[in-house]
Copies of this chain bind each other. A is one copy, B any other.
Amino acid sequence: MTLILPVIMAGGAGTRLWPLSRDSMPKQFIALLEDDLSTFQATLLRVKGAPFLPPIVITNHEFRFIVAEQMQAVGVQGQIVLEPERRDSAAAIAVGALLASRVAPDAVAVALAADHVVENAAAFRADAMVAAEFAATGLIVTLGIVPTAPSVAYGYIEAGEALGDAGTKRLKRFVEKPDAATAQGYLDQGFLWNSGNFVFAAPTMIEELTRFAPDVIAAAREALDGATTDLDFIRLDGRAFGRAPRISIDYAVMEKTQHAGVIAAGFDWSDIGAWDSIHEVMDKDGAGNVLRGPVVALDTTNSLLRSDDMLLTTIGLTDMVVVATRDAVLVASKSAAPHVKRLVETLKQQGRPEATEHLRIYRPWGWYQRIDIGSRFQVKRINVKPGAKLSLQKHFHRSEHWVVVRGTAEVTLDGSVSHIHENESIYLPIGCTHRLYNPGKIELELIEVQVGSYTGEDDIIRIEDIYARA
| B-binding residues in A (CB < 8 A) | 19, 296, 298-299, 307, 310-317, 320, 322, 324-333, 335-337, 339-340, 342-343, 346-347, 350, 352, 354, 371-372, 374-377, 379, 381, 399, 401, 403, 405-406, 422-423, 425, 427, 445, 447, 449, 451-452
Contacts and interface: CB of A to CB of B under 8 A. Distances in A.
A324 B333 contact: no
B346 A296 contact: yes
A372 B425 CA distance: 18
Nearest to A331: B314
Nearest to A335: B316
A320 B346 CA distance: 21
Contacts of A427: 425
A339 B299 contact: yes
Contacts of A337: 315
Given A307-B329, A329-B311, A331-B314, A381 B376 contact: no
Contact of A347 (B296, B316, B451): B296
10 contacts: A19-B311, A298-B342, A311-B347, A313-B343, A315-B333, A316-B336, A371-B372, A403-B403, A422-B451, A423-B452
A377 B350 CA distance: 36
B451 A403 contact: yes
A343 B315 contact: yes
Contact of A372 (B299, B307, B342, B447): B447
Nearest to A447: B449
A444 to B, nearest CB: 13
With a 10 A CB-CB cut-off, give which of A313, A326, A399, A406 has the most chain B CB atoms.
A313
The number of times this chain is found in the oligomer is 2
B331 A449 contact: no
A183 B331 CA distance: 35
Nearest 10 pairs of A and B residues by beta carbon: A316-B336, A377-B405, A316-B333, A315-B332, A315-B336, A311-B328, A371-B372, A403-B449, A423-B451, A314-B331
A339 B310 contact: no
With a 10 A CB-CB cut-off, give which of A314, A331, A352, A452 has the most chain B CB atoms.
A331
Contact of A401 (B315, B317, B403): B403
A425 B371 CA distance: 19
A326 B313 CA distance: 13
Contacts of A316: 332-333, 335-336, 339
A447 B377 contact: yes
A283 to B, nearest CB: 22
Given A313-B330, A375-B406, 11 more contacts: A311-B329, A311-B352, A313-B328, A313-B329, A315-B330, A324-B329, A329-B329, A372-B447, A379-B379, A422-B451, A423-B451
Contacts of A311: 19, 327-329, 347, 352, 354
A329 B294 CA distance: 11
A391 B307 CA distance: 37
